[in-house]
Amino acid sequence: MSDQKPIDLRSDTVTKPCAAMRKAMAEADVGDDVFGDDPTVNRLQDRVAELLGKEAAIYVPSGSMANQTAIRAQTQPGDEIIAHQDNHIYHYEAGAPAGLSGCMLRLLPGAGGRYEADAVREVIRPTNSHFAQSRLIVIENTHNRGGGTCWSLDAIENIKQVALEHKLNMHLDGARIMNACVAKGHTPSAYAKYFDTVSMCFSKGLGAPVGSAVAGSTEMISRVHRFRKMFGGGMRQAGVIAAAALYALDHNVERLAEDHQNAKRLSVALANMPHVDVDVEMVETNIVYFDVDPAYSTAQQVCDCLHEDGVWMLAVSAQRVRAVTHLDVSTTAIEFAIDALHRVLSAKPAE
């Protein structure tokens, strides 16, 4: 039996701050960040700008606000944003590109949440008053719905060429950029250099309770700053939570490799279980998707049975289940989750 119950694999957003992180939060120097007076927020912003090789960075409450303030700062109503059809900005941000920026999305297919430069070239609109104006390319790395997959620098570089040819901006949804860096051995700035804006989250695998950031040029970040205020994201004594993000950057980056190993271990075990299909090769970081054979059961049924055993996973569609590893799930807990999956999948299908 694992001593960690429940084993919550629904998302890496569920982590709770450890005692040392809470201590750092309790001891944080604070000020009013809307006045720019919070020394801990300022320290975090400088740190993120340096990490990503950008002039400036801004702390925001969530990954969604990071993406949406960056989009708003680089577009006008009627513009078109080119993105993958499985991107977070399209599926999980409540229609915000349309709702907050008045933009259309031009969505591209591609395995693992990735697309090719030629596909981008094909959908760029000519300058003509009939058409929406192609304005911004969005890449998500790691790619959540794609399976925690990583983009290669070469693939990004090829897309950057197209962006330069057509004077398009590029935004990186880097909610899990540190997972990509740890998995591929690249520095954050090696990825970030291709982008006008980069978002990153502290409240996913890095284990902070709240917060994300956007980095870019000084001019761009001052535009993002304005939209952060407009969208209601100006915070006051935010140093209390920024301290958790700084703690996370100091202590929780290298350990992401353990989450990746645990995800791999889970996927390899799933590959040998009945009634499910998993692509082990796609598991590069901390996200595992598997499909339940419809002749056997549904994703929700499997998750309900696992739940009874204290293992929580997410049914993301009728047949697809997601499991995400993170710092509150040990290797022992993963072994327990594997045992629970064995038990559930060996049982007769539920009526």
Q: Give the binding site for ligand TLP (CB under 6 A).
A: 11, 13, 62-64, 67, 88, 92, 140, 144, 173, 175, 201, 203, 212
Is the Cβ of residue 124 or residue 213 nearer to ligand TLP in the bound state? 213
Pick between residue 93 and residue 297 the one whose CB is nearest to ligand TLP: 93
Listed residue (191, 195, 158) closest to 177, CA to CA: 191
**How many residues appear in the chain?**
351
Minimal distance, residue 92 CB to ligand TLP, in Å: 4
Nearest to 212 by CA among 95, 74, 75, 68: 68
Residue 247, judged by CB atoms within 10 A of its CB (0-12, 13-18, 19+), counts as buried
Cα-based distances in Å from 333 to 85, 238, 263, 326, 340:
34, 34, 12, 11, 10
* Closer of 83 and 240 to ligand TLP (Cβ): 83
| Minimum distance from residue 167 beta carbon to ligand TLP (Å) | 26
| CB 10 to ligand TLP: min, Å | 7
> Among residues 62 and 267, whose Cβ is nearest to ligand TLP?
62
Q: How far is the CB of 277 from ligand TLP (least distance, A)?
A: 21
Phi, psi of 320 (to 5 degrees): -105, 135
Tell me how crowded residue 105 is: count the other CB atoms within 10 A of its CB: 18
Q: Smallest distance from the beta carbon of 20 to ligand TLP, in angstroms?
A: 23
> How far, in Å, CA of 240 to CA of 246, rounded?
10
Q: What is the smallest separation between the CB atom of 72 and ligand TLP, expressed in angstroms?
A: 15
The token pair at 181 is 């860096």
Which residues contact residue 164 at a Cβ distance below 8 angstroms, ignoring those fewer than 6 apart? none
Judged by beta carbon, residue 114 or residue 275, the one nearer ligand TLP is 114
57, 214 contact by CB (below 8 A): yes
Distance CA 225, CA 234 (A): 8
For the bound state, the minimum distance from the C-beta of residue 148 to ligand TLP, rounded and expressed in Å, comes to: 10
Pairing of strands 7-8, 104-108: unpaired
**CA-based nearest residue to 323, from 341, 309, 308:** 341
* In the complex, least distance from residue 343 CB atom to ligand TLP, rounded to whole angstroms: 26
In the bound state with ligand TLP, the residue whose beta carbon lies nearer, of 138 and 345, is 138
Which token pair is 60?
């925001």
Pair type for strands 287-292 and 276-277: antiparallel
Q: Which is nearer to ligand TLP, 40 or 141 (CB)?
A: 141
d(CA 78, CA 260): 40
Place of tokens 């989009």: 71
**CB nearest ligand TLP: which residue?**
63
2 vs 203, beta carbon nearer ligand TLP:
203
Closer residue to ligand TLP, CB minimum distance, 233 or 239: 233
Q: Determine contact, residues 234/226, Cβ cutoff 8 Å.
A: no
Distance of closest approach, residue 89 Cβ to ligand TLP, in angstroms: 7
